Chain A
Amino acid sequence: EADIYQTPRYLVIGTGKKITLECSQTMGHDKMYWYQQDPGMELHLIHYSYGVNSTEKGDLSSESTVSRIRTEHFPLTLESARPSHTSQYLCASSESWTGGDYGYTFGSGTRLTVV
């Protein structure tokens, strides 16, 4: 039973469109994260948040932006999608920075294809 939900699961969209990837968690976690992963490649941290109205960029530069208006919600937005944004985007949350006793909980991901 998933406690972190990502929608849509798959998205195919044209170049130049604005898109928002949704991520919600029901665990009350303050810490949330976005990772980007190309097929067969490693995960790259692109954004993270330590609470409402507090966000930081990760170690991989990304043209996406994030917001954290509510504890449970951490959407990711691309203002103008390009084919180079084609990738899988994974959202995660945790009760502490290092994961605590249960680690990071990941969603099922959104597979984005920009044509």
Chain B
Amino acid sequence: DAKTTQPTSMDCAEGRAANLPCNHSTISGNEYVYWYRQIHSQGPQYIIHGLKNNETNEKASLIITEDRKSSTLILPHATLRDTAVYYCIVRALYNQAGTALIFGKGTTLSVSS
């Protein structure tokens, strides 16, 4: 199973880009990279996912290195409401029936004015 390494915490000024790194050096060729965030103690929210190519949606951009050993989630213009725990997930629990996403410790992003 691939595991991820994320910084415990990061700070970002409001209006600036927030770049959240994630290392996943043991990722398998067919495993995707997923990003979720959790605001306070609410249920996590899906942000974005990707396999090889860079991805962008209305919430964020995901940059995956060519060797797929690391990725970066980019929030282009961080706001105070982006303060949350951000989870990078590449591990899934597999068995004969199927698979489910396993969340790690994540990065606590603090956006300040």
Give A contacts to B, CB under 8 Å. Answer: 31, 33, 35, 37, 39, 42-45, 48, 50, 54, 56, 58-59, 88, 90, 92, 97-99, 102-109, 111
The chain B residues found within 8 Å of chain A, CB to CB, are 32, 34, 36, 38, 41-47, 49, 92-93, 95, 97-106
Q: Which A residues lie within 8 Å of B98 (CB)?
A: 31, 48, 50, 56, 97
Q: Which residue of A has the minimal Cβ distance to B104? A: A42
Q: Give B41's nearest chain A residue, CB to CB.
A: A88
What are 9 of the A-B contact pairs (CB < 8 Å)? A42-B104, A43-B38, A99-B101, A102-B46, A103-B47, A105-B46, A106-B43, A106-B44, A109-B41
A90 to B41, CA, bound (A): 10
Are A42 and B105 also in contact (CB < 8 A) when A98-B34, A103-B36, A103-B49 are?
yes
CA distance A68 to B5 in the complex (A): 35
- For A48, the closest partner residue in chain B by CB is B100
* Of the residues B38, B49, B97, contact of A99 by C-beta under 8 Å: B49
Contact yes or no, A99 B46, CB < 8 A: yes
Q: Are B105 and A92 in contact (CB under 8 A)?
A: no
Establish whether residues A104 and B46, one from each chain, have CB atoms under 8 Å apart when the complex forms.
yes
Contacts of B36 in A (CB 8 A): 103-104
A90 touching B43 in the complex, CB below 8 Å, given contacts A98-B92, A103-B36: yes
* Contact call A54/B106, Cβ cutoff below 8 A: no
* Alpha-carbon distance between A95 and B102 when the two chains are bound, in angstroms: 17
CA distance A48 to B99 in the complex (A): 9
